[in-house]
A and B are shown apart, each in its own frame.
Chain A
Amino acid sequence: MPKFAAAARSALADTGLRRNLRGGIAAAREREAAAAAELGGWDDLREAGRAIRDAALLDLDAHLEELERAVTEAGGTVHWAADAAEACEIVTGLVRAAGADEVVKASSATTREIGLTAALARAGVTARETALADLAVQLGDDEPSHLLSPALHRDRAEIRELFRRTMPAAGPDLTDDPAGLAAAVRVHLRERFLRARVAVTGANFLVAETGTLVVLESEGNARMCLTLPGTLISVAGIDKVVPTWADMEVFLQLLPRSSSGDRMTPYVATSTGVTAGDGPRAFHLVLLDNGRTRALADEVGRTALRCIRCSACMNVCPVYERAGGRAYGPVYPGPIGAILTPQLRGVDSAADASLPYASTLCGACADVCPVKIDIPDVLVHLRGTVVESRRRRPVPPPELMLMRGLAWTMGDPRRYETALRRGTRWARLLSRGGRIRRLPGLLGKWTEARDLPAPPSESFRAWWTRRRP
């Protein structure tokens, strides 16, 4: 995976992509703002959402044990996975035990995070994405670019071409009318739904008190995953827990209005363990850590775990609007991805370490976040973490060398004045019309995207010394 700035470059050069992004998220932004404004006391609801998520996280071990007990009592089985590999192994084992070589999957960023589809493929199991946009991403062998609408980087004509190529039943008459494309997906997947023996889903919420799995969706694919196959496997991060059923009254208002801008998402399905004569005969819940406890250990960073994956932050972000979701890496796009991914995966790789810098710190994301995550605050905190982590490397990064040089220069008045004088002279030689368009060497990165004003011929210090009697 390349660094954010490098990955964003190709997206920025693609005008078609930028048009798709701009149009799509502007409409989403308006819908969400209207849905929040319509409900009086939106901020009271956000405040409650924030507090409930904090209460869930600060007593997480007790809530997880309570959840496990409730799910087990309701006839389900709970599995614990420390990392992605273990989660994939558990799911693969369960699918094999059910004797299936194909599973239907409903949208889940968590299963994408652990690379479940590839792991199942290695075991000879085909995982079929069932939500329209997920299917488009899967058929196009592509990366998702938005939490709610993963194929946002494709326009209707591109999706039509893709479906015509990959869906034998769609036929050459398929137009780019979105309703027609949706109908083609319905036909394409219907048989698979009816024959599926195993479904894999994520979870929007897990209610500790009652052991209830809560899934919000709009297409009806998750409802079918939750009811038709004999075995249901849900993979969920340990952060998805909310303490009580009554708490859902807050999130069932915050999430729909912040995510699609609906008053209520078309379908909310809740399922507690196994119900005789209705739905799956076996329910497995896989609880996943995979870096979440690392984030939890950071007092500032842990607020990112409040996230309910609504996608409102990406819809208001000026950086996301231009760079698109794929520059943020394969799983969590947008501002929330910029603070979640480096915490889940650590900042050892250059790509993960570049994410906290993928922001102008304008603060729009914090203003819309339904659980009041102060994303700019966490970004700044993580930039500090990145710098600290590189301090003791054998070869110091250029930024650190520059800062050390500056510290040495500014530590002594004579050295500082000499540097100022020489620097001013060089800078004025580089300037044209009062502006410097390109700095030499590594400093050139700074002038890649902006001009530097030329310094005045005389520094403040020199002028001050001269005017004193």
Chain B
Amino acid sequence: MTASGEGPGGGSRAEVLRRVREALGGARGTRPPVPRRYARRLTDDEAVNRADVLALFTERVADNRASVRHVSADELGTAVAAALWGREAKQIVVPADLPFGWLAELDGVRALADTPAVDVDTLAAVDGVVTGCAAAIAQTGTVVLDGGRAQGRRALTAVPAYHLCVVHADQIVGTVPEAVERLDPARPLTWISGPSATHGIEMVRVEGVHGPLHLEVLVVED
């Protein structure tokens, strides 16, 4: 498809590129070296071993004003159910490929699988959503979803007011560079660090505008 009917790219493609080349003149095409002396891994002050990484993740998720709990693999079903009861959730939506065991203990909570895709009105009406994640970052307390296994499409976590995210301990990396290295930008990524918030009034941070008002993270230790 062309933009404004002047061949591929259309419009002012040629003109803009010509201006760029003219503006750069002799400097054009130089790529100055990029010094990458910054830390790519956590420092020893932040974490010495794996347990420290998990502890840092937990601390930082809590700093982001999300709830966080550690559970063992065989407690997960109970923990998911307990979290949903705690929110008095009656109906939730889940990705079609969410592991069955995560919801095995649900009693009195109806889980709608996103297959076929639920419509937006249903998404807005449900009490919450349960997903897994693709990676998590200890230093920033972030979970990253990439639409892969147990995560579903992006709208599932954008609309409902409550998001319960299950993180397996081995998915947690230390730093942002480690996460960027592990993630595939061809997939749609959503990095989530706490509930929806705004600095829109007097630059004071307030939780809860358009996105999920509550984020709860369950860390599964094997």
Contact = CB atoms under 8 A, between A and B. Distances in A.
Interface of A: 20, 23-25, 27-28, 40-41, 44-45, 47-48, 51-52, 54-55, 58-62, 64-65, 68, 74, 77-82, 86, 89-90, 93, 130-133, 136, 146, 148-152, 155-156, 159, 178-179, 181-183, 185-186, 189-190, 193-194, 207, 210, 212, 218-221, 223-224, 226-228, 238, 245-246, 248-250, 252-253, 256, 260, 262-272, 275, 277-279, 287, 289, 293-294, 296-297, 299, 302
Contact of B202 (A20, A130, A183, A228): A20
A210 B11 contact: no
Contact of A48 (B4, B12, B38): B38
A214 to B, nearest CB: 9
A51 B202 contact: no
Given A151-B201, A178-B201, A293 B19 contact: yes
Contacts of B153: 227, 277-279
Contact of B32 (A58, A77, A256): A58
Contact of A266 (B34, B192, B201): B192
B203 A80 contact: no
Interface in B174-222: 176-177, 180-181, 185-212
A266 B43 contact: no
Q: Is the interface of B mostly helix, strand, loop or mixed?
A: loop
A149 B199 contact: yes
A86 B29 contact: no
A54 B154 CA distance: 33
Task: Pick the 8 closest A-B CB pairs, nearest first.
Answer: A220-B211, A133-B200, A132-B200, A24-B203, A268-B191, A297-B23, A79-B3, A293-B19
Interface of B: 1, 3-4, 9-13, 15-17, 19-25, 27-40, 43, 45, 60, 63-64, 117, 120-121, 124, 137, 139-142, 147, 153-155, 158-159, 176-177, 180-181, 185-212
A25 B38 CA distance: 28
Contacts of A265: 193
A178 B202 contact: yes
Contact of A159 (B22, B27, B201): B201
B38 A299 contact: no
Nearest to B191: A268
A64 B20 contact: yes
Contacts of B9: 68, 78, 80
A44 B124 CA distance: 44
Contacts of B38: 41, 44-45, 48, 250, 253
Contact of B200 (A62, A151, A193, A249): A151
